[in-house]
C-alpha cells in the first residue's frame, strides 16, 4: 500500500500560510519541549538503526510509552540485532512479550525478523524503500513511514492515531476516522505538512505532540505551538475531534479457568494454538460457559435459578474449546471430577475480568486436585493428540513460560 498523493491546499480547511508554518512551529517546540531521551530515538545520531525503530514502532502499536520502555530494554538486552531476534525460539520471544497484550504483534515481529534477516543476507542491508518495509509482516503504511523517516533518515510520512487526533482538531476534519475517505484526507494532509528535510524529526515531534499535549482528554492547548491556527481550539470544540462512530457495546464471554493440580502443587499448562487469542502463549485449560436466563433453566432444590452451564452444544463446543480443552473436559466428565471455585463469588462477579479488543472476558478460577494415576491417564490422552503441555508450579510457570496477563491475574488470586 502506498501513501496517498497530497491534494491541493484549497481542499484543506487551513490557509496556505498556516500549512507552510505548521512544521517550523512544531519543530521549534520539539527542540525545547519535546522528548529527547527515549531509547529508540534516532534523530540525534548520524548512523540511525532501523532495527531499533522497527522494534519500538511495533511495540508502540496500541501500547503507551511507559509500558513499552521495560519491554524494549529487555528485548534489546536479549536480542541486540535483528538476526538475534530471528534466530530466537518463539517461546523465548513469547515470554519476553507476555503481559503487553495484542499478541499478534509478537508473532508478526518474529516473522518479520526472519524476513529482514533474509533480506540482509541477500542485499547486505535493511529495506531502503517504503514498499520494502510494507512487505514486512505486521508493518503498515504509518509504521513503514516512521522507519523510513526515523530509522533511515530518509523521507517518510506517518499518520498514526496520535497524528490523526492532532490533524482532525487542527483542521476540523469532520469525517469518521474509521472511514476510508477520511483516512485518505488525513494522509494527504500529513503528507502536505511533512517537510522533505528532517521528516524524521518532524515525525517524532508529531508523536510527542499527540502523546503529551494533544491528548484524548483534557488537551493542554495553552502550551500547544499550533493553537493559533487550530480551528477546533478557536471554536472551543477540541473534544469533538476526532470524529468516530460510536462502538457497539462489547459482548461478554464467560469461562472457567481450570487449575488442575497434583499433590505437589504443580499445575497443568497448555500452549495455545498459534492462531486465535494468546496464540503460542501458555494458559490454564478453559471451559467456556454459556450464560442463560433464569426463566430458561430449571431451578435447584433451594429454588435458586442456575446462572450458567458449561457449553455442550456441539457447534459451540468445537468452536470455543481447543482440541486440548475438549479432551480435558471429556476426561473430567468421564472421571466424575468436578472443579470447585477458588472463590465463592458467582460468575457475574468473577474475580478476573479481562477486556480484549472485541469482547470482555470473565474468568472464574476453579481447582481440581488429581492423583498420580489420573495424571498418567490424562498425560497419555494429551500425548496421543500431540498436545503441548507442562506441569509447573505457579511461580515457576510465571518465571519460565510466556503467560498472558489474564493468567497471571488468576494465579495471583
CATH of the domain at 308: 3.90.79.10
Angle between helical axes of 161-171 and 180-193 (0-180°, round to 10): 80
Q: Given this model, what pLDDT does residue 376 score?
A: 94
Question: Mean pLDDT throughout 159-176?
Answer: 96
What's the domain range around 31?
9-240
Q: Which triple of cell numbers denotes residue 197?
A: 528535510
Do 181 and 97 lie in a common domain? Answer: yes
Do 283 and 147 lie in a common domain? Answer: no
Do 232 and 273 lie in a common domain? Answer: no
Do 230 and 162 lie in a common domain? Answer: yes
CATH number at residue 97: 1.10.340.30
Is 150 inside a domain boundary?
Answer: yes
309: pLDDT confidence band, cut at 50, 70 and 90?
low
Give every CB contact of residue 205 below 8 A, 6+ residues apart in sequence. 26, 27, 29, 30, 34
- List pLDDT tens digits, range 52-97: 999 999 999 989 999 999 999 999 999 999 999 999 999 899 889 9
Count of C-beta atoms within a 10 Å radius of residue 297: 13
- List pLDDT tens digits, range 235-252: 999 999 999 888 788 888
Answer whether residue 156 shows pLDDT above 90.
yes
Question: Mean pLDDT throughout 11-22?
Answer: 85
Do 264 and 393 lie in a common domain? Answer: yes
Q: Given this model, what pLDDT does residue 347 score?
A: 46
- List the single range of 62-71, 126-135, 165-174, 297-306 with lowest mean pLDDT: 297-306
Do 39 and 186 lie in a common domain? Answer: yes
Angle between helical axes of 104-123 and 90-97 (0-180°, round to 10): 130
Q: Given this model, what pLDDT does residue 353 score?
A: 83
The DSSP letter of residue 276 is: S
Is 281 inside a domain boundary?
Answer: yes
Q: Given this model, what pLDDT does residue 362 score?
A: 87
Residue listed under C-alpha cell 477520511 = 182
311: pLDDT confidence band, cut at 50, 70 and 90?
low
Do 209 and 264 lie in a common domain? Answer: no
Closest CA to 406 of 255, 247, 262, 251: 255
Q: In total, how many domains does the chain have?
A: 2
- Catalytic hit among 31, 57, 122, 261: 57
Regarding predicted confidence, which is higher, 302 or 182?
A: 182
Last-in-domain residue among 240, 272, 293? 240
Task: Respond yes or no: is residue 57 known to be catalytic.
Answer: yes
Q: Given this model, what pLDDT does residue 350 score?
A: 58
Do 228 and 276 lie in a common domain? Answer: no
Instruction: Give the rounded percent of residues in the chain with a pLDDT score beyond 70.
Output: 88
Do 386 and 321 lie in a common domain? Answer: yes
319: pLDDT confidence band, cut at 50, 70 and 90?
low
What does R_g of the chain's alpha carbons equal in angstroms?
26
Amino acid at each position: 500500500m502506498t501513501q496517498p498523493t497530497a491534494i491541493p491546499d484549497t481542499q484543506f480547511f487551513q490557509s496556505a500560510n498556516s500549512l507552510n508554518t505548521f512544521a517550523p512551529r512544531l519543530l521549534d517546540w520539539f527542540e525545547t519541549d519535546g522528548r529527547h531521551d527515549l531509547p529508540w530515538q534516532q534523530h540525534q545520531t548520524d548512523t540511525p538503526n532501523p532495527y531499533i525503530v522497527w522494534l519500538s514502532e511495533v511495540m508502540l502499536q496500541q501500547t503507551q510509552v511507559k509500558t513499552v520502555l521495560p519491554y524494549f530494554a529487555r528485548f534489546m538486552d536479549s536480542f541486540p540485532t535483528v538476526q538475534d531476534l530471528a534466530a530466537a525460539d518463539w517461546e523465548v520471544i513469547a515470554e519476553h512479550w507476555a503481559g503487553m497484550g495484542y499478541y499478534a504483534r509478537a508473532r508478526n515481529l518474529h516473522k518479520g525478523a526472519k524476513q529482514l534477516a533474509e533480506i540482509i543476507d541477500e542485499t547486505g542491508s535493511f529495506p531502503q524503500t517504503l514498499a520494502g518495509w510494507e512487505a514486512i509482516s505486521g508493518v503498515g503504511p504509518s509504521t513503514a513511514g516512521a522507519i523510513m523517516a526515523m530509522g533511515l533518515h530518509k523521507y517518510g510520512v506517518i499518520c498514526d492515531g496520535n497524528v490523526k487526533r492532532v490533524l482532525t482538531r487542527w483542521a476540523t476534519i469532520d469525517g469518521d476516522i474509521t472511514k476510508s475517505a477520511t483516512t485518505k484526507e488525513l494522509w494527504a494532509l500529513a503528507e502536505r505538512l511533512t517537510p522533505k528535510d528532517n521528516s524524521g524529526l518532524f515525525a517524532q515531534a508529531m508523536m510527542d505532540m499527540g502523546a503529551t499535549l494533544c491528548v484524548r482528554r483534557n488537551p493542554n492547548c495553552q502550551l500547544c505551538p499550533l493553537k493559533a491556527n487550530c480551528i477546533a481550539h478557536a471554536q472551543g470544540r477540541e473534544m469533538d475531534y476526532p470524529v468516530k462512530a460510536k462502538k457497539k457495546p462489547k459482548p461478554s464471554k464467560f469461562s472457567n479457568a481450570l487449575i488442575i493440580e497434583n499433590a505437589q502443587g504443580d499445575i497443568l499448562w497448555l500452549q495455545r494454538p498459534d492462531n486465535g487469542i494468546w496464540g503460542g502463549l501458555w494458559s490454564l485449560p478453559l471451559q467456556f460457559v454459556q450464560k442463560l436466563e433464569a426463566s430458561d433453566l430449571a431451578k435447584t432444590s433451594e429454588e435458586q435459578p442456575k446462572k450458567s452451564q458449561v457449553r455442550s452444544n456441539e457447534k459451540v463446543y468445537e468452536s470455543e474449546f481447543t482440541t486440548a480443552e475438549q479432551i480435558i473436559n471429556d476426561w473430567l466428565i468421564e472421571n466424575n471430577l468436578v472443579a470447585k471455585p477458588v472463590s465463592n463469588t458467582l460468575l457475574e462477579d468473577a474475580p478476573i475480568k479481562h477486556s480484549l479488543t472485541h469482547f470482555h472476558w470473565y474468568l472464574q478460577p476453579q481447582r481440581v486436585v488429581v492423583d498420580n494415576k489420573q495424571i498418567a491417564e490424562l498425560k497419555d490422552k494429551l500425548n496421543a493428540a500431540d498436545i503441548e503441555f507442562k506441569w509447573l508450579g505457579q511461580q515457576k510457570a510465571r518465571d519460565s513460560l510466556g503467560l498472558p496477563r489474564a493468567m497471571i491475574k488468576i494465579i495471583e488470586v
